[in-house]
Amino acid sequence: MAIDQVNVEIVAREVIRPSSPTLNHLRKFNLSLLDQLAPVSYEPLVLLYSNFQQQLAGTHESQRLKRSLSETLTRFYPLAGRIKDGASIECNDLGAVFVESRVSCLLSKFLEKPDAEAIRKFIPVETESPEALTGSLVLVQANFFACGGLAIGVCISHKAADPVTFSTFIKAWAAAAFRSVDDSTVLPLFNASSLFPPQNLPLTRPAAVELMNDKCVTKRLVFDASKIAALQAKAVSESVTCPTRVEAVTALIWKCAMNASRSNSEHLRYSILSQSVNLRERMVPPLPENTIGNLVGYFASCATECEIELQSLVGQLRKGLLDFGENYVEKLGEDKAFMAVRESFQEAGSMLQEGNVDFYASTDFCRFPFYGIDFGWGKPTWVTIPTGANKNVTTIMDTRDGEGVEAWVTLTEEDMAFFERDRELLAAASLDPSALDLIRPMSSL
C-alpha cells in the first residue's frame, strides 16, 4: 500500500518509567567497548497482529502494554536511563517513550502490498536519529488499525543493544504482558563491560565505516523453501559442500547487486560485503544468550570482477567467516579485545578509502523468535524490520512458517532499476509480494 494511503495519527504520547526505582548502587552502568563502537542509530522492529480486537484498543490492552513495559524496564534498568559520557549509562529511571496512534486503513489492505516507507510510519523515531546517543534508549509506538489490528513498533538504541539483546528484551516484555513471568524466566546478565572494558574513544564511530546516504529505493524479496534449496544446490563447491540458506540467499542478492552496479559504471568495481556475527556463541567459553549489550562482530567478504558466480561468492562468504573466527575471536579470548576491534575498524576504513569499491552490508535476523512474541492476543501475523536510508543494505529474516526467507534490499535508484529486473533473481524470489501470501487466511483481517 502506497505511503499516501496510510494515514497514521498520533493520539497520545507518554513516558513509561520502571515499576520499581533502580537501586543506588546500580545507578551507573558501564558500556562495553563494543557498545561504544556501535553506530548511533536505533534498531527497529514492527510486529503486526491481525487478531487484536479494535474494541479493546486504548483501554485494557493498551494499559497492559504499558504496565508490562514498566515491569520489564525494572529488570532491564539500563534501558530506562540515558547515555551520559559515551562510556556509561546513567540509570536515572527517566523511562521509555510510549506513543499511541490510529491508522486509517485496514490491516488486511496494508498487508496486501507492504510498502517500506509506509512501514516507517509505525515506528516512533527515525532509525538514524542522533537521539540514540542523547535521548530515550527505548521507544514504542502502538498503532491501532481501523476495524481491528495492531502494529507494535519498537526502537532500541544500538548503543545499548544488539539484535540478540533486542530479542531478549521483547520476549521478556511479552512474557510480562502475558503474565508468564515465573522462576524459569531468564534474567538479563549485565557483564559485557567486564569482558570488553570501555576505552577513551570519541562518542561516534569512525566515519570510514559509515554507509553513505544517496537517493535510494527499497524492495522486498521473498524466497520460498524450494527455491532456497535449489540455490543451495547450485552453490555447492569443493570449498563449501553444504551452503546454508543464509549464505545462498545472501550470495545471490550480492551477485545481482554487483551486476547492477557494474551496469551503471564504466569500470569494473571491487566489492566488499560486511556481515555481522553473534560473539556470544563464539567466545571461549560461550556466553549466555541473555548477556546484554553489543556482543556482535563484523567480518568482510571480498569479490573481484572474476568472482561473480554463486559458488565463488558463497566461498568468499564462508572464508570471511572462518578468517573472522581464526583471527578476531581468538584475540578476544586472549584479552586483546581493543587491539582486535581497532584492527577490524582500520581494515574496513582502508578498504573504503581505496576508491572504486562498492561496499555492501547484510544483517541476518533468521532464527530469531520474533514470530513467537505473544502479548496475550496471539502470535504476530507478520513481522518486519523497517529499513533506513542507507544504500547497499540488506536485511533478511525468516518468513512466518520458518522455512522461507524475506529480504529488504536498499540500493540507489539507478542500481535498483537493474537489480529488480535481474532474471536470475526473479527466478529465485518473488518481488514485493503480498504479505497475505505468507500467512494462513484469518477472518479477523
Q: Is residue 158 annotated as a catalytic residue, yes or no?
A: yes
Q: 33-47, 171-185, 204-218, 235-249: lowest mean pLDDT where?
A: 204-218
Residues in the chain: 445
Q: Can you give the pLDDT at residue 364? A: 96
Per-residue pLDDT band at 183 (split at 50, 70, 90)? very low
Per-residue pLDDT band at 442 (split at 50, 70, 90)? very low
Question: Do 401 and 251 touch, CB atoms closer than 8 A?
Answer: no
Q: 23-37, 70-84, 328-342: lowest mean pLDDT where?
A: 328-342
Per DSSP (E only), the strands in 59-207 are 82-83, 88-90, 96-103, 138-145, 150-157
Cis upstream peptide for 285 (omega within 30°)? yes
Share of the chain above pLDDT 90, in %: 71
Of 93, 183, 358, 374, which is the active-site residue? Answer: 374
**Mean pLDDT for the chain?**
89
Right CATH number for 207-438 from 1.10.10.10, 3.90.1580.10, 3.30.559.10, 3.90.1150.10?
3.30.559.10
Residue 98 clears pLDDT 70, i.e. is over it: yes
Exposure string over 31-60, b if 16+ CB within 10 A, otherwise e:
bbbbbbbbbbbbbbbbbbbbbbeeeebeee
> Which residues neighbour 184 within 8 Å (Cβ) at sequence distance 6 or greater?
none
Domain 3-195 class, CATH top level: alpha beta
Tens digit of each residue's pLDDT (9 = 90 or more) over 187-241: 899 999 998 888 887 655 544 344 556 799 999 999 999 999 999 999 999 999 9
Three-state DSSP class for 430? strand
Supply 122's cell numbers.
509505525
pTM, 2 dp: 0.92
Residue 184 clears pLDDT 60, i.e. is over it: no
Per-residue pLDDT band at 7 (split at 50, 70, 90)? very high
Q: Can you give the pLDDT at residue 444? A: 41
Tens digit of each residue's pLDDT (9 = 90 or more) over 287-335: 999 999 999 988 999 998 777 899 999 999 999 999 888 877 666 655 5
Domain boundaries, the chain: 3-195, 207-438
Tens digit of each residue's pLDDT (9 = 90 or more) over 342-361: 666 666 666 666 667 899 99
Q: Can you give the pLDDT at residue 146? A: 87
Residue 57 clears pLDDT 80, i.e. is over it: no
374 burial via Cβ count (<10 Å: 0-12, 13-18, 19+): middle
Tens digit of each residue's pLDDT (9 = 90 or more) over 235-267: 999 999 999 999 999 999 999 999 999 998 877
Tens digit of each residue's pLDDT (9 = 90 or more) over 123-133: 999 999 999 99
Q: Can you give the pLDDT at residue 54? A: 56
Domains 3-195 and 207-438 equal at CATH topology level: yes
Q: Can you give the pLDDT at residue 356? A: 78
Of 4, 25, 60, 158, which is the active-site residue? Answer: 158
Q: Can you give the pLDDT at residue 272? A: 94
Q: Is residue 267 annotated as a catalytic residue, yes or no?
A: no
- Over range 380-385, report the average pLDDT: 97
- Over range 81-93, report the average pLDDT: 96
Residue 178 clears pLDDT 90, i.e. is over it: no
Per-residue pLDDT band at 141 (split at 50, 70, 90)? very high
Point out which residues pair with 101 in neighbouring strands. Answer: 10, 143
Residue 438 clears pLDDT 90, i.e. is over it: no
Supply 301's cell numbers.
567478504
